């Protein structure tokens, strides 16, 4: 059979794309070289979407009209190369979903650091303003799933460079690049310029009526803008200079946001998110909210009351130079992949729980690159130990107290200890919230 659409990869983005394809009347087939996690498999079965796991049937895939590729699959993979050679249209999930967004609007956030906080803060502003809005991408549902399940007027989207690699029409009305620092260079031929180009794909198809928000203090972003012309109207944020008209800056402990010349001011002492990096995030979010014409009182309330999402990349404490992050909500490898993707410090990773048939190859590359040791937390750690024992040091624990203490012993000042389990929690805890709460208590007990 010749399918309208083949989807490579069965994670959140792949399954979401399959559900949307089915809904709009396309014949769709999902192919995953690894085993499909049970929850996604059940969704595909319930929707009567055919799939294969543990293999790629080459003739089937190369007979497709179009292919959607999971962001976790590198360009160098043999099947991807064969699809390219066959001149079959290959796209990302956000590109596919973009076709079906109707009259809705998108605020899209990318960057090397600060994506999740900025995206979450913008979503909070829109919710407080009473807008019909959802948060998608690397937070919440995939863009495609949200469109299939519950379309909204606004989509606040966090995406990585990998999701931007395979777009050819995707166009957010408001785009934000928080910053660009060297990362994932193995996916870009160890060429930082290729990585920068991938990030700027966010604005590639924007028009003069769209908005691109950039950090004036970020060298890579400014170098790109100076070398290349981009279509959208540009707004800047800075902590080093005053932005006179279109953007935001901090001066004399006051944040000033100017959109169309109208100033919005708030004392940085009133901001709920502390730290210089969060002042950058708050400026970026504030500009986007003003551009979208949200009410000033709504923006102010959000900046004063917003708290990071509990159990999702939640900062807990810094103890003798070691940072502790609670990502207990990461109950699948897709979430852990994005958590590791955002890490900029050497990481001691706490993994484990009830394994749902994980194929740890999905995060192997990031573990090799960013993780200095793994601490297993669970009744049965066999799968994790067997997979990672020859890659990084692996320790086994069966209580949160032991896991936190062991991880702390492996860490040195400048490192990060992150609980991002990739597994369900009910072997030792009631749910992921209970697990995260235990983690925070044991960290604070240090």
pLDDT at position 226 is: 84
pLDDT at position 86 is: 95
Which residues does 78 contact at the CB level (< 8 Å), separation at least 6? Answer: none
pLDDT at position 170 is: 97
Q: Which residues of the chain have pLDDT under 50?
A: none
Terminal CA-to-CA distance of the chain, rounded, Å?
A: 60
- The CATH code that applies to domain 314-445 is 3.90.190.20
Return the HEC string of the chain.
CCCCEEEECCCHHHHHHHHHHHHCCCCEEEEECCCCCHHHHHHHHHCCCCEEECCCCHHHHCCCCEEEECCCCCCCCHHHHHHHHCCCEEECHHHHHHCCCCCCEEEEEECCCCHHHHHHHHHHHHHHCCCCEEEEECCCECHHHHHHHCCCCEEEEECCHHHHCCCCCCCCCEEEECCCCCCCHHHHCCCHHHHHHHHHHHHCCCCCCCEEEEECCCHHHHHHHHHCCCCCEEEEEECCCCCCCCEEEEECCEEEEEECCEEEEEEHHHCCCCCHHHHHHHHHHHHHHHHCCCCHHHHHHHHHHCCCCCCCCEEEEEECCEEEEECCCCCCHHHHHHHHHHCCCCEEEEECCECCCCCCHHHHHHHHHHEEEEEEECCCCHHHHHHHCCCCCEEEECCHHHHHHHHHHHCCCCCEEEECCCCECCCCCCCHHHHHHHHHHHHHHC
Q: Sketch the domain layout of the chain as residue ranges.
A: 5-91, 96-305, 314-445
Q: What gap in Å lies between CA 271 and CA 348, rounded to an integer?
A: 30
- Residue whose C-alpha is closest to residue 66's, from 130, 17, 7: 7
Classify domain 5-91 by CATH architecture: 3-Layer(aba) Sandwich (3.40)
Residue 360 has φ and ψ, to the nearest 5°, of -70, -5
Q: What gap in Å lies between CA 166 and CA 161, rounded to an integer?
A: 10
Q: Is the dihedral of CA 274, 276, 281, 285 positive or negative?
A: positive
Rounded (10°) angle between helices 115-128 and 276-291: 40
Q: What gap in Å lies between CA 96 and CA 308, rounded to an integer?
A: 30
Fold that domain 96-305 belongs to in CATH? 3.40.1190
pLDDT at position 181 is: 76
């Amino acid at each position: 059979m010749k399918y309208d659409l083949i989807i490579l990869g069965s994670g959140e983005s792949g399954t979401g794309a399959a559900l949307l394809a089915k809904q709009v009347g396309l014949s769709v087939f999902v192919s995953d070289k690894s085993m499909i996690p049970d929850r996604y498999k059940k969704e595909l079965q319930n929707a009567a979407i055919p799939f294969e796991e543990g293999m790629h049937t080459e003739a089937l895939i190369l007979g497709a009209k179009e292919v959607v590729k999971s962001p976790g699959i590198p360009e160098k993979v043999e099947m991807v190369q064969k699809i390219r050679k066959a001149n079959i249209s290959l796209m990302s999930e956000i590109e596919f979903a973009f076709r079906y967004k109707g009259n809705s609007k998108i605020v899209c956030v990318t960057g090397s650091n600060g994506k999740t906080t900025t995206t979450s803060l913008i979503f909070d502003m829109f919710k407080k303003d009473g807008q019909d809005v959802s948060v998608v991408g690397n937070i919440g549902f995939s863009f495609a799933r949200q469109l299939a399940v519950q379309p909204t007027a606004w989509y606040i989207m966090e995406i990585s460079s990998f999701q931007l690699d395979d777009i050819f029409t995707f166009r957010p009305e408001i785009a934000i690049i928080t910053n660009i620092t060297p990362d994932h260079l193995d996916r870009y031929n160890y060429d930082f310029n290729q990585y920068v180009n991938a990030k700027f794909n966010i604005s590639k198809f924007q028009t003069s009526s769209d908005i691109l928000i950039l950090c004036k203090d970020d060298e890579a972003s400014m170098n790109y803008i100076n070398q290349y012309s981009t279509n959208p109207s540009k707004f800047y944020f800075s902590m080093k200079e005053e932005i006179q008209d279109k953007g935001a800056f901090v001066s004399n402990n006051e944040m000033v946001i100017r959109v169309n010349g109208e100033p919005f001011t708030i004392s940085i002492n009133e901001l709920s998110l502390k730290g210089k990096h969060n002042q950058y995030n708050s400026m970026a979010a504030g500009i986007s909210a003003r551009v979208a014409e949200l009410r000033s009182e709504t923006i102010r309330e959000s900046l004063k009351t917003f708290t990071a999402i509990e159990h999702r990349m939640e900062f807990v404490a810094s103890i003798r130079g070691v940072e502790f992050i609670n990502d207990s909500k990461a109950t699948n490898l897709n979430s852990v992949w994005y958590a590791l993707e955002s890490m900029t410090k050497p990481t001691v990773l706490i993994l484990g729980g009830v394994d749902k048939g994980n194929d740890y190859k999905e995060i192997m590359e990031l573990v090799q690159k960013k993780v200095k040791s793994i601490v297993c937390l669970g009744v049965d750690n066999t799968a994790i130990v067997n997979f990672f024992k020859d890659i990084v040091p692996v320790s086994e624990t069966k209580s949160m107290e032991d896991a936190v203490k062991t991880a702390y012993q492996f860490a040195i000042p400048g490192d990060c200890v992150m609980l991002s389990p990739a597994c369900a929690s009910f072997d030792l805890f009631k749910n992921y919230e209970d697990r995260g709460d235990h983690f925070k208590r044991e960290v604070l007990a240090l």
